[in-house]
Amino acid sequence: MSNFLKSNDTGILIIRLTVGLLLLPHGISKLINGFDWLSGSLTNVGLPAIIRYGVFIGEIVAPLLLVIGYRARIASLIVAFNMLMTIFLAKRDQLFVIRGGWAIELNALFLLGALALFFTGGGKYCISTKSKWD
């Protein structure tokens, strides 16, 4: 048990579970409540509205992959890209706003947590550990 308590892999597991489990409800709420509102944000910047379906990959599929530890590096890149798009499309006017905290701190935490996982990999408590993308 002491190896588990003093392990970098335990820390990585906690980050994986935190990013994955806290992001997942955002995707589920979009699945339940709809996401047609994303079309306007996308078309306003010249992107096709079909890209809105990427939110399911970035906020449901990738977080689930992080939680189970399958191809954690790829999943974390997807989450990071999703957060960059969220900041660019929905929060760019709040980038330098501080009101009791940074206005985009949640998105930044998801983005930076995902980037940390990209660089560390998923650790040994994963269902896949043999690929360079784990």
Domain residue limits, the chain? 8-120
CA atoms of 92 and 121, how far apart (whole Å): 29
pLDDT of residue 42: 87
Residue 3 has pLDDT above 80, yes or no: no
pLDDT of residue 45: 87
pLDDT of residue 38: 83
CB neighbour list of residue 24: distance below 8 Å, 6 or more residues apart: 59, 60, 63, 64, 67
CA atoms of 100 and 32, how far apart (whole Å): 30
pLDDT in tens, 11-51: 999 999 999 999 999 999 999 988 888 888 889 889 898 98
pLDDT in tens, 73-118: 999 999 999 999 999 988 989 999 999 999 999 999 999 999 999 9
pTM of the entire structure?
0.90
pLDDT of residue 40: 84
Residue 1 has pLDDT above 70, yes or no: no
